[in-house]
Amino acid sequence: MKKYFRKIVWFFISISILSLVACFHNETNKNTDDKINNTLYVDIGFEPPSLDPALAEDGYSYRIVNDLFAGLIDFDQTNRPIPGMATSWDISADGKTYTFHLRKDLKFSDGTPIKAKDFVYSWRRLINPKTGSAYNFLLSSVINGKRIINDKMTADNLGIKALDDYTFEVNLEYPNNAFLSYMTMPNLFVVPQKIIEKYGRNWTDPLHIITSGAYILKEHVLNGHILAEKNPNYYDAKNVSIEKIKYYPFVDTNVSISNYKLKTIDTSWQTVPVDRYQELKNKYPKELHTIQWERIEFLNFNLKLPKYAKSLKLRKALTMAIDREVLVKDVLKSGQIPLYSIVTPTIENGKYADVKYDWSSQSREKQIIEAKKLYNEAGYNINHPLTIILKYRNNDLYKKMSIAIAAMWREVLGVNVQLQNQEWKGLIQALHKGEFDIAQGGWGADFNSVTTYTSLFLCNNGNNNAHYCNKKYDNLVIEAEQTADINKQQELFKEAIKIAQDDYAVIPLFEPTHQRLVNPRVQGYDIEQNYLDNVQSKWFSLH
């Protein structure tokens, strides 16, 4: 049966993939001037939708925002929270009050001092619904946080305050074991009030921007390049080795690899072309790094559409019709792990590995029989097939993934599938607005806590692109977050996860790997330990 499906999958892949036209980037002056100027060249995969910390919500934006801005808490290459702009902090006995002690020498890139009041402004701005941040939920456990998010209270009621210029206090509604990890997120980094109020949405333009991190934005050529230079006013500037960072948004991974071979970039993005993985692994055994990535790849149902919202049987049939084993072993072939849950089996060192679909251990033949039965009971058959428009990000991996899934749906159920690729900016807007049928989705863990995934399916979460809502699920997640007993908390999270799974809110596919080529001249990159793939250029030096 598996050999048969492999033939089907590869048939559709072969007739659907167009030949790629190489469009090589030309860096004629790199060899001399930029080596003298100590420049790192980085592929970031896509044009970042936003460089505003409050509005950033994807890895492309985070890769740059992590260089441009800084927060109270920093993180190391093993993703652990460490002192940042705060040298230390105190936590009250009841776990609900955090007091952060700021460094005395903090400055924005224009030399303006950074004080505790700047964090008050930055956090109020993040949580304010008018800002439109999909990450304001990071502050939902702070006193009045949920009320502000739900627009029932103004942001100045958030439970934070500057006790003096160098002391910042945070008061929580309940103890939150993940709170320090939340604070490593770039959305909570400090931003300049006067510049934002003066220029509004245009404040991140290179002509206006003032930063707080290791680098300053100097150039931003849309779909061209982004240039950042070392910030001399950064509090730890003496330990920042690289003078300039040049970021390139290579959407086509083959173009990225060609530029790597030409030595016009030093690091590729998070994946290499699927068809070339083995070739590159053989050619660059010490430069190609493959790391298990704490992330879920899935498909979003648009639950605003009645055909999906009102038919659990249809959602389950489409989920079961996908052969994840074939998908990861025969199509993608880069170490991905089949996924049968809305959380990974690796989060929190495997605490939730046993929460998965009850049919996941059945034979493929039984899964197909059940999928067909459910599809028919949902009102569809060979004479009345379902039509799906499957949207995916314009990327080599997601293209092959989508073609393979379309082939499986056609063969197992007889579904009519139309494929549409879209640039990331356009796709994320379509997801937020609910302007899609079924669409590719993914979520990389921001910290090693199951809440990085469970928050994704809350009714009013800005990143809940399936537009799923189950109040019972929400209540269990909230109860779990407020429970101090670790064992009880885990039970509640498991119960919540099972509800969203049994609702078939999304179609989980696989836990990916990230593969990155790194030029040997880049030193200080401990990539093998960075399972979240959160990166800061200040860690590196060039030799």
- Give pLDDT tens digits for 289-328: 999 999 999 999 999 999 999 999 999 999 999 999 999 9
Averaged pLDDT score across all residues of the chain: 92
Per residue in 222-246, pLDDT (tens digit) is 999 999 999 999 999 999 999 999 9
CA 411, CA 176: separation in Å to the nearest integer?
47
Confidence of residue 445 (pLDDT cuts 50, 70, 90): very high
Kindly give the residue spans of alpha helices, DSSP state H, lying in 378-450: 396-413, 424-433
CA 516, CA 253: separation in Å to the nearest integer?
11
Query: Is residue 53 scored above 60 in pLDDT?
Result: yes
Query: Is residue 369 scored above 50 in pLDDT?
Result: yes
Q: Which of 136-145, 158-167, 195-204, 475-484 is predicted least confidently?
A: 475-484
CB atoms within 10 A of CB 321: 23
CA 393, CA 412: separation in Å to the nearest integer?
24
CA 204, CA 206: separation in Å to the nearest integer?
6
Mean pLDDT of 20-32: 41
CA 208, CA 226: separation in Å to the nearest integer?
15
**DSSP annotation of 272:** -
Q: How far is CA 469 from CA 149, 326, 341, 458, in A?
A: 17, 31, 17, 7
C-alpha 485, offset from chain centre: 29
Pairing of strands 387-393, 438-444: parallel
In terms of residues, how long is the chain?
Answer: 543
Q: What is the predicted pLDDT for the residue at 34?
A: 52
CA 319, CA 322: separation in Å to the nearest integer?
6
Kindly give the residue spans of alpha helices, DSSP state H, lying in 115-261: 116-127, 145-149, 179-182, 193-199, 253-261
Q: What is the predicted pLDDT for the residue at 197?
A: 97
Per residue in 416-433, pLDDT (tens digit) is 999 999 988 889 899 999
Burial per residue of 152-191, b for 16 or more beta-carbon CB atoms within 10 angstroms, e otherwise = eeebeebbbebeeebbbbbbbbebbebbbbbbbbbbbbbb
Angle at 520 between CA 515 and CA 525, to 5 degrees: 65
Q: What is the dihedral of CA 261, 262, 268, 273, to 10 degrees?
A: -50
Mean pLDDT of 492-520: 97
For residue 136, which of 472, 526, 455 has the smallest C-alpha distance? 455
H or E element, residue 489:
helix 486-502
DSSP letters for 200-228: GGGGGSTTT----SSEEEEEEETTTEEEE
